[in-house]
Amino acid sequence: MKKIILVGKPNSGKSLLFNQLTGLRQHVANFPGVTVELKSGTFGDFEVVDFPGTYSLQAMSSDEIIAINQLHKALDHEDTALILCNLDATKLERSLVFALQAQALAKEHGKSVVFTLNIMDQVKRFGYDYDVEALSKVLGSPVYAISAKTLLGISEFTAALKKHAAAPEKCQVQETLLTQLSPLEAAKQIADEHGIKQELVLGNQTKLDNILLNSFFGGIIFVATMFFLFQSIFTWATPLMDLTEAGVFGVGEWVSGALPEGVVADFVNDAIFGGLGAFLVFIPQIMVLTLIIGLLEDSGYLARAALICHKPLSLFGLSGRSFIPYLSAHACAIPAIMAARTIESPRKRLVTMLTIPLMSCSARIPVYALLVAVLIPDERYLGGWVSLQGAIFFMLYFGGLVTALLVGRLLDIWIEKGEQRNDLPFILELPSYRLPHWRPLFYKTLNSGIAFVRRAGPVIFTVSLVIWVLGYFPEQGNLQSSWLASIGKLVEPVFAPLGIDWRYAVAILLSFLAREVFVGVLGTMFAIENAEENMSGLVEQMQADGFTFATGVALLAFYVIALQCVATVATLKGELGKNRYSWGIFVAYGLLAYLVSFLLYTMLS
């Protein structure tokens, strides 16, 4: 199939144009280790490939190197029929700097070019219009004035695009008077002559920025937005997650119910459907978070939010855009790691992704709740306003955050030494405010779910399967005499310095599947039915069993730091591509957790 290559500067309405051209018939190609995505979809008899938005053909970051190499490859390919250069009509000069470079490169490769002058709806609202014919003449390639949002001029454009792509030799790049000039000079000259005046465009943006970036109101709006985002993943995604879990559980029960009781039925129900549920349950959170971040990004607010939190986070080797992933990580590390994709600097993205697992995610809550209830008396101070247990809870969350910032700082120094400092400086365009369109948001949200299943699903499923086998055999479902229990006893000496016996060791090992199973497993060990719902019985048992304060603190510290979550490791592996980082950080946090627990235990006992 002949290809149409779509290029353009960031924030130029390019992805909306792509979505309008291709609709549902699209798929995303990811490159391991970077967030570069090549989206492609069919448009009539052609394939449209959407390249990541870039300001320049000279790459600075590792992401840009890959994107630009792919562009060169596409230009060399004989299947490439046409280069479609998208221009932002409200920012003609900036769009042309890149577009003219791309046009020159296409000409070198003997490829034809067509320009779209996008976002014309805004331009018309400002009371301006372009002389498209004159612009075509001066650019030496056909130009079409469109709005991908209001569909202004789209039908004429799509008809023309099909014609051009079928006979590209007819729209070869023409020599113009500007060919002698550098892209920078040519862009300036064309924009001065044809472009809309910047005062018209920037007036509204400046007014809104005066409010949204105001030290007082801006702060309030920022906190309110982040509160909304946090709510959405913490509480609003929960019904969807419960529904997913119940759905998988229901189907599992139904299928295994049709089988005779025994190993096969248990295997189908607990291992197969349990393993499926283990990763499907994350999808609602991932999609809800992607949708909200997409809304913030497409409206233009995300860049402002990044500006607001850039300074404090930069002290720890992070970017202003690390804030949202960090916040989301308090609900769950998986969507947070995927949200870190919006961090433009590959190096800061790496530091952010690697420190996200240290945030106290919601799976740690049952573990904290159990251990705090066992260790800390339910005392209240200041007329009942301050509870001792609540204060300890706060310290646990705070401990995770502080550890993350310190590790971030260390990683920043270490990466600086270890790898060449190949990174983008902090200079970020504050795009014009726009009302987001549903199409790109819809596909972005859908693709985030698909990407997670593809990248992390197989690993999570396999590990669930292995752990099920270890916990089930040899005595069909008796955890206390299973292979896993034997392993627990085997590793007991390792955990002995933390004051932990084999029962807790088994609970820790099983926590690698998901931390919240800690409570259920201990319930099984202490023969308490439904320990998750009825924690007080387990609390009494553990207190009676001689569970010391020092052991409890050691265990808490271990759960704050250790990366006990196969889904997180799998997601990191999928996003970073390099195994040494994901498994390396898994080992490193394990050792750090062990060390801190050991020190606390020794000090307290």
Partner 1 sequence: MTIWDLPKKTSGKVARFNLNMPENLKTRLNEMGFTVGQLVTCMKRTPFNGPLVIQVQDCVYSVDKQIASQIEIQS
Which residue in the set 1, 311, 384, 474 belongs to the binding site for partner 1 (CB under 8 A)? Answer: 311
For partner 1, which is the closer residue by CB, 216 or 385?
A: 216
Interior CA angle at 214 toward 211 and 217, to 5°?
75
For partner 1, which is the closer residue by CB, 97 or 237?
A: 97
Which residue in the set 209, 266, 492, 501 belongs to the binding site for partner 1 (CB under 8 A)? Answer: 209
Which residue in the set 150, 179, 314, 362 belongs to the binding site for partner 1 (CB under 8 A)? Answer: 314
Distances from the Cα of 574 to the Cαs of 33, 361, 421, in angstroms?
7, 20, 23
> In 3-state terms, what secondary structure has residue 321?
helix
For partner 1, which is the closer residue by CB, 95 or 464?
A: 95
Which residue in the set 50, 93, 270, 575 belongs to the binding site for partner 1 (CB under 8 A)? Answer: 93
Distance of closest approach, residue 48 Cβ to partner 1, in angstroms: 26
For partner 1, which is the closer residue by CB, 56 or 536?
A: 56
Binding segment for partner 1 (CB under 8 A), chosen from 22-30, 204-212, 233-241, 410-418, is 204-212
Distance (Å, whole) CA 550 – CA 601:
5
Which residue in the set 31, 230, 397, 426 belongs to the binding site for partner 1 (CB under 8 A)? Answer: 426
426 phi and psi angles, rounded to 5 deg: -85, 90
Distance (Å, whole) CA 497 – CA 551:
10
N residues, the chain: 605
Residue 34 · residue 62 · CB < 8 Å: yes
Residue 164 · residue 142 · CB < 8 Å: yes
For residue 162, the surrounding DSSP H or E stretch is: helix 154-166
**Contact status: 205 vs partner 1 (CB under 8 A):** yes
Distance (Å, whole) CA 74 – CA 68:
10
Binding segment for partner 1 (CB under 8 A), chosen from 167-175, 208-216, 330-338, 437-445, is 208-216
Q: What is the DSSP secondary-structure string of 28-97?
A: EEE-TTS--EEEEEEETTEEEEEPPP-S-SS--SHHHHHHHHHHHHHHH-TTEEEEEEEEEGGGHHHHHH
For partner 1, which is the closer residue by CB, 60 or 265?
A: 60
Which residue in the set 3, 14, 39, 94 belongs to the binding site for partner 1 (CB under 8 A)? Answer: 94
Rama region for 570: left / alpha / beta (φ>0; ψ in -120 to 50; rest): alpha
Q: Which two tokens stand for residue 145?
A: 């004035």
Sequence-distant (≥ 6) Cβ neighbours of residue 17 within 8 angstroms: 6, 86, 116, 118, 146, 148
**Contact status: 69 vs partner 1 (CB under 8 A):** no
Which residue in the set 23, 29, 32, 58 belongs to the binding site for partner 1 (CB under 8 A)? Answer: 58
**Contact status: 191 vs partner 1 (CB under 8 A):** yes
Distance of closest approach, residue 411 Cβ to partner 1, in angstroms: 19
For partner 1, which is the closer residue by CB, 299 or 314?
A: 314
For partner 1, which is the closer residue by CB, 99 or 505?
A: 99
For partner 1, which is the closer residue by CB, 118 or 448?
A: 118
Rama region for 140: left / alpha / beta (φ>0; ψ in -120 to 50; rest): left
> In 3-state terms, what secondary structure has residue 344?
coil
Which residue in the set 133, 215, 258, 382 belongs to the binding site for partner 1 (CB under 8 A)? Answer: 215
Q: Which residue has the tokens 């992390």?
A: 456
Distance of closest approach, residue 310 Cβ to partner 1, in angstroms: 5
**Contact status: 55 vs partner 1 (CB under 8 A):** yes
Restricting to residues 445-464, name those near partner 1 by CB under 8 A.
Answer: none
Cα 472 to the center of its chain, rounded Å? 35
Which residue in the set 20, 80, 90, 328 belongs to the binding site for partner 1 (CB under 8 A)? Answer: 90
**Contact status: 92 vs partner 1 (CB under 8 A):** yes
Q: Which two tokens stand for residue 471?
A: 């916990």
For partner 1, which is the closer residue by CB, 92 or 351?
A: 92
Residue 43 · residue 21 · CB < 8 Å: yes
For residue 117, the surrounding DSSP H or E stretch is: strand 112-118
Q: Which two tokens stand for residue 389?
A: 């247990």
Restricting to residues 575-604, name those near partner 1 by CB under 8 A.
Answer: none
Binding string, 317-346, against partner 1, x = CB under 8 A? Answer: ---x--------------------------
**Contact status: 425 vs partner 1 (CB under 8 A):** yes
Distance (Å, whole) CA 569 – CA 580:
11
Q: Which residue has the tokens 């299947």?
A: 79
For partner 1, which is the closer residue by CB, 60 or 75?
A: 60
**Contact status: 548 vs partner 1 (CB under 8 A):** no
Distance (Å, whole) CA 598 – CA 605:
11
Cα 294 to the center of its chain, rounded Å? 11
Binding segment for partner 1 (CB under 8 A), chosen from 143-151, 190-198, 454-462, 561-569, is 190-198
**Contact status: 428 vs partner 1 (CB under 8 A):** yes
Restricting to residues 97-126, name those near partner 1 by CB under 8 A.
Answer: 97-98
**Contact status: 181 vs partner 1 (CB under 8 A):** no
**Contact status: 307 vs partner 1 (CB under 8 A):** yes
Residue 555 · residue 500 · CB < 8 Å: yes
Distance (Å, whole) CA 577 – CA 575:
6
Binding segment for partner 1 (CB under 8 A), chosen from 76-84, 167-175, 301-309, 558-566, is 301-309
How many residues contact partner 1, by CB under 8 A? Answer: 37
Residues of this chain that bind partner 1 (CB under 8 A): 55-56, 58, 60, 90-94, 97-98, 184, 191, 195, 198, 201-202, 205-206, 209, 213, 215, 303, 306-308, 310-312, 314, 320, 425-430
